[in-house]
Structure 1
Amino acid sequence: LERGPNEEASSQLTSMAELRRDIEEAYMLVEHGQLPGAVELLGRAIEKCPWDPSLHETRAECYIQMGEYYKAISDIRPTTSLRSDNRPAFYKMSDLYYKLGEAEESLIQIRECLKLDPDDKQCQPHYKKVKKLVKQLNAAQEAKVAGQYDECLNKAKQFMKTEPNVEFYQLKGQSYLCHCYGKGGNLQDALMHCNRLLSREPENVEALIDRAEVYLASEKWDEAINDFQKATNTDEHNRRAQDGLNRAQKLLKQSKKRDYYKILGVKRTARKKEILKAYRKLAAKWHPDKYEGDNKPMAEKKFIDIAAAKEVLTDKEKRQKFDNGEDPLDPEQQQQGGGGPFWHEGFNPFGGGGFKFKFNFN
């Protein structure tokens, strides 16, 4: 400009003056808690000065206070290159990922800090905590997939204890407790944890399906159908929800007919040993050859139902069919499915000719 008029130089001087005003005003807005306005001004400044780490750091702090953690991370990340040995930046990114529930990514970032200084007083304890949590999370997931439900419950409780203050991990723990208590047959505790989770996340599809499964095991058909329907409405492509809805509807229809569990007086979660015990007790009472009452036809009908229940519930394949809403001893259903002919009550424990059947408790 001293040599003479220069439009480019004049334009840059004007731009610099505007930039200074934007930065000063942005910091003033930050002090007064007017964060959206500060973010807007800092954005304009960063477009002109992308290599100034302090601008990124200030905007990142605004985003953190606004709860926009991913945007904060996007601002912190370039400062790891713009400042040498920027361990605080790696720690902050790790902490934010941790709060977002991305424990694996949190572990990656905190390891970057320790590469710069293995004994960093801030990063070292955080690393130990995140590493422990990741191990427990992975163990819970592996146990869940493997069907090791007691181990699943144990690991879920462990990581909930490791991190009691971050909501994500508490809700994650509730999801494991909801699923694994249900699969393990503890329906009361399963329902309690499913309800806790769904009170915070009412559209959590997996939790809706897990609670529906608990309702099915408790023979609450309408409640199960309602949850499966909600899950299907939320995620229409979820196969587990669709299959569950179909099964629940079949079980509701089936409940109005013959229920083998009720006939033997056992829960749907009963093991084979319990089923056989119930069968032996009832068979001893109602077998027509041993029945001492006057109503032999009624005793015969009772025993037919008892024997049919034992036939289905002690056979793994038949029981699975029944649990899916299909009666394997129903001639109409079997003919529709290509099965063979059955006696009109499903099957005949007495054989083809009267009461020559030898009573057997096995």
Structure 2
Amino acid sequence: MAAATLGSLDAWLAYKARGDLAFKQGAFDLAAEEYTGSIDSWGQATSVPEADQQQKVYANRCLAFQRVQKWQESLEDAKAALQLDPAWLKGWFRLGAALLGLQLPQEAIIAFETGLELDGGNVALQQQVVEAKQLLKAQQTSGRKKPAASQAVLEDVRNFLVGTIAALKLNGNPMPAGQDDPPGTKAAKRRANRHRKAATTGPKPKTPEEEAEELKAKGNAEYKEGRYTAAYNSYSAAIAKAPNAAAYYGNRAAAAMMLRNYKVAADDSTKATQLDASYHRGYVRAAKAYLCMGKLDMADRLYEEALQQCPPDGAAQLRAERNLVHTVRQRLDLGRAALARGDPREAQWHADAAVRAVTPSPETAILLRCEALLAAQKHAEALSESRGLTIEGDAQAPEVLTFQASALYLSGNMTMAQKMYEAALSKDPDMAACKKGLKRLRSQNSSKEAGNTAFKLGRWQEAYDHYTTALEADPHLRTTFVAQCACNRAATCMKLSRHEEAVKDANMAVEADPGFTKGYLRRGNAYLALEQWEDAVRDFEKVKDMDSSTPDIDSLLKEAKLALKKSKRVDYYKLLEVSSTADETELKKAYRRAALKFHPDKVATEEREAAEKQFKLVGEAHAVLADPEKRQKYDQGWTLEEIDQGHCCGGHGAGGGVDMDDLFAHMFAGGMFGGGGTGGGRRPRPGGFY
């Protein structure tokens, strides 16, 4: 069954709303399940619904059961609704419909006609009476008797009808003749005689004390079956009949304990001891309830009182329970001390020991474990653990909601964190920790939104400042929110040509959220701007692996790889000290200058080897850049080896590098740096120079 929705609504009302929706959609089994959840949560609700609200839930579940022909369940719900208010018209209608489904037309007629006594003009009830009479006549005509299995049900129904009609009389409803039959007519007299006979021939109405005992017995049976909410409600009904019976409060306290409604359990147990000072169980249950709430001083005092009331044979067991108070206190003290000195692992160890010491576990021990998990950066685990956290049995206590808000905030779910903070403040507007957390969160969100707006308007520095404000609000936060803000600030740095800052912000983004694809993409672009080609390729490949559908990732990766490839070649333009747009004349002049500069005959002997290498490269550069086809391929990222292989494939002779003899012949063919052809053939050389 789904958990109750979050907010100011109690769980029971949230269940009812889902049940209503399921019913409208025709999902009657699901609707019944949700209504059951609503009824079961009454014992845990921060405010128990009024009787008229309870009636509606019972009536709705009753109708859902009828739609799937679960007549016995429907009957029980109709009875429950009428027990809350015997004068409720819809309850009689639902009861009659359930009885018809159980093939009990005579009893259904009584139910429908009782409803008509309350509203004689109700057409739907009149139609149901006709239908019930037709079924009764059909049964009498066929001679079919009621199945044996329904005899117990029949007896229970008749007793219920007699008792409820009597309750109507006691409440000032004298059951006059039907308003649809004029007084004094035969029909009115027959109707009145029928009700009079039903009210006088059955067993006499029970006293409130007798009814209370029956309700207590019913609650005991439900408790043994593990139906603690039903037991709680039965004990509550018994208390309403006999409000001065200590045992009833004690029993309801036991049911409340099983429902983890410790505050109610403590109050009921205390009430029981006030009504009967010798009621030993009251002291024990109150002590256990306070222990579970983590109110250890009160628990210790009550165990002491219980020991004074305890029979000798039970003292040892009670002392053992009292010792648990000291065990829990010691573990909590040690755990809190560990947390204070920054050791969440040890804090969790002590918290776990306190949790295991008592069943149900003390709320303060569960809270300490949640706090330790949060301090250990296990945000998701802390949030999951807090789902079972209560304060005084209330899962919607402001302290619980505030902790869950903090866990959501540290997990990066800013939207849900804000809703949770607001829900906590609606319950306790003065809660300082909650107010502080909500104020910080709202400031972060507003700064981020302001940054986004400024960025869209092209106000880069203003956007940068807003993102900085959002990030500085909590410098230790490492979530997706931080990743987004840092990545956005990196984008503003790119716009401001502050590429190294952009890299730092992108680093912050991927550290805060390693799965944040946009952080790697942003850093890759910054590396491109910084001409750090290998880093750019690595980041773009990471993005492609994480999400191959990222826009432009293929072209960006191709661009980075091409730039990286170019960076590993000799930059011929740089070597000749010309721009990439230099024309033929500029290239010739640059070539001659470079050749003269690196000519082996122009340098000292010890520098000649290095000069020869540079001289060769100058020749290669000129050979490639002076050839339009080769130059085009070079500009496209081809290496010298690829260019030469391309010549081979194209049938232009053996390629590969430039021979020293060719280079000298070329330079001196027409005199010193004069014009002239290249002359001479080239000896093949494997590979080429980068």
Normalising by the smaller structure, the TM-score range is 0.5 to 0.7
- Answering whether residue 465 of structure 2 is matched by residue 154 of structure 1, we say yes
1:92-241 alignment runs, 5 A limit: 92-118=403-429, 120-140=431-451, 150=460, 152-168=463-479, 173-182=485-494, 185-195=497-507, 205-229=517-541, 231=542, 236-239=545-548, 240=550
Q: In structure 1, what is the Cα distance between the partners aligned to 2:383 and 2:396?
A: 17
Once the two structures are TM-superposed, the CA of residue 88 in structure 1 deviates from its matched residue by 3.0
Contact 1:209 1:227 in 2 (8 A): yes
- Answering whether residue 333 of structure 2 is matched by residue 31 of structure 1, we say yes
1:200-349 alignment runs, 5 A limit: 205-229=517-541, 231=542, 236-239=545-548, 240=550, 243=554, 244-253=556-565
Task: Give the unaligned 5+ runs of structure 1.
Answer: 1-7, 266-277, 309-321, 327-362
Moved more, 16-25 or 205-214: 16-25
Once the two structures are TM-superposed, the CA of residue 87 in structure 1 deviates from its matched residue by 2.6
CA change 1:29–1:247 in 2 (3 A) is same
CA change 1:102–1:202 in 2 (3 A) is closer
Q: In structure 1, what is the Cα distance between the partners aligned to 2:511 and 2:374?
A: 26
Moved more, 179-188 or 217-226: 179-188
Once the two structures are TM-superposed, the CA of residue 215 in structure 1 deviates from its matched residue by 1.8
2:647 alignment partner in structure 1: none
1:60 alignment partner in structure 2: 370
Q: 2:352 aligns with which of 26, 40, 44?
A: 40
AA partner of residue 93 (structure 1): Q
Contact 2:527 2:536 in 1 (8 A): yes
Q: Relative contact order: is structure 1 or structure 2 higher (C-alpha 8 Å, sep ≥ 6)?
A: 1
Q: Secondary structure at the match of 1:226?
A: helix
AA partner of residue 477 (structure 2): V
1:88 alignment partner in structure 2: 399
Query: Could you give the per-residue CA deviations for residues 20-58 of structure 1, whole angstroms, max 9, x where no partner exists?
Result: 666643442332344343343344357x326x5344334
CA change 1:215–1:143 in 2 (3 A) is same
Contact 1:178 1:190 in 2 (8 A): yes
Contact 2:331 2:353 in 1 (8 A): no
Q: In structure 2, what is the Cα distance between the partners aligned to 1:74 and 1:202?
A: 22
Contact 1:26 1:37 in 2 (8 A): no
Query: Could you give the per-residue CA deviations for residues 209-258 of structure 1, whole angstroms, max 9, x where no partner exists?
Result: 322212222333223223334x25xx72422496243442234346689x
Q: In structure 2, what is the Cα distance between the partners aligned to 1:32 and 1:221?
A: 54
Contact 1:91 1:109 in 2 (8 A): yes
Q: In structure 1, what is the Cα distance between the partners aligned to 2:375 and 2:318?
A: 29
Q: In structure 2, what is the Cα distance between the partners aligned to 1:224 and 1:287?
A: 34
CA change 1:192–1:128 in 2 (3 A) is closer
CA change 1:58–1:253 in 2 (3 A) is closer
Contact 1:215 1:223 in 2 (8 A): yes
CA change 1:197–1:83 in 2 (3 A) is closer
CA change 1:32–1:105 in 2 (3 A) is same
Query: Could you give the per-residue CA deviations for residues 253-273 of structure 1, whole angstroms, max 9, x where no partner exists?
Result: 46689x9xx9xx9xxxxxxxx
Contact 2:421 2:438 in 1 (8 A): yes
CA change 1:26–1:71 in 2 (3 A) is farther
Query: Could you give the per-residue CA deviations for residues 65-107 of structure 1, whole angstroms, max 9, x where no partner exists?
Result: 5444444444545426824983333333323433443322221
Once the two structures are TM-superposed, the CA of residue 122 in structure 1 deviates from its matched residue by 4.4
Q: In structure 1, what is the Cα distance between the partners aligned to 2:546 and 2:510?
A: 20
Moved more, 179-188 or 152-161: 179-188
Q: In structure 2, what is the Cα distance between the partners aligned to 1:49 and 1:108?
A: 30
Once the two structures are TM-superposed, the CA of residue 174 in structure 1 deviates from its matched residue by 3.2
Q: In structure 2, what is the Cα distance between the partners aligned to 1:95 and 1:255?
A: 49
Q: In structure 2, what is the Cα distance between the partners aligned to 1:124 and 1:36?
A: 27
CA change 1:217–1:54 in 2 (3 A) is closer
Q: In structure 2, what is the Cα distance between the partners aligned to 1:15 and 1:63?
A: 34
CA change 1:226–1:147 in 2 (3 A) is farther
2:60 alignment partner in structure 1: none
Query: Could you give the per-residue CA deviations for residues 311-361 of structure 1, whole angstroms, max 9, x where no partner exists?
Result: xxxxxxxxxxx9xx99xxxxxxxxxxxxxxxxxxxxxxxxxxxxxxxxxxx
Q: In structure 2, what is the Cα distance between the partners aligned to 1:84 and 1:204?
A: 34
Q: Secondary structure at the match of 1:236?
A: helix
AA partner of residue 59 (structure 1): R
Larger radius of gyration: 2
Once the two structures are TM-superposed, the CA of residue 195 in structure 1 deviates from its matched residue by 4.7
> Cα RMSD over matched residues?
5.5
Once the two structures are TM-superposed, the CA of residue 203 in structure 1 deviates from its matched residue by 7.8
1:352 alignment partner in structure 2: none
Task: Give the unaligned 5+ runs of structure 2.
Answer: 1-223, 225-313, 336-345, 592-621, 639-690
Once the two structures are TM-superposed, the CA of residue 173 in structure 1 deviates from its matched residue by 3.9
Q: Secondary structure at the match of 1:49?
A: coil
Q: In structure 1, what is the Cα distance between the partners aligned to 2:365 and 2:384?
A: 13
Q: Secondary structure at the match of 2:437?
A: helix
Q: In structure 2, what is the Cα distance between the partners aligned to 1:90 and 1:128?
A: 16
Q: In structure 2, what is the Cα distance between the partners aligned to 1:42 and 1:69?
A: 21
2:287 alignment partner in structure 1: none
Q: In structure 1, what is the Cα distance between the partners aligned to 2:522 and 2:320?
A: 58
The two structures have a TM-score, normalised by structure 2, of 0.32
The two structures have a TM-score, normalised by structure 1, of 0.54
Q: In structure 1, what is the Cα distance between the partners aligned to 2:518 and 2:319?
A: 56
AA partner of residue 133 (structure 1): Q
CA change 1:23–1:206 in 2 (3 A) is farther
1:345 alignment partner in structure 2: none
Once the two structures are TM-superposed, the CA of residue 137 in structure 1 deviates from its matched residue by 3.0
Contact 2:425 2:435 in 1 (8 A): yes
Once the two structures are TM-superposed, the CA of residue 201 in structure 1 deviates from its matched residue by 7.3
Once the two structures are TM-superposed, the CA of residue 147 in structure 1 deviates from its matched residue by 8.8
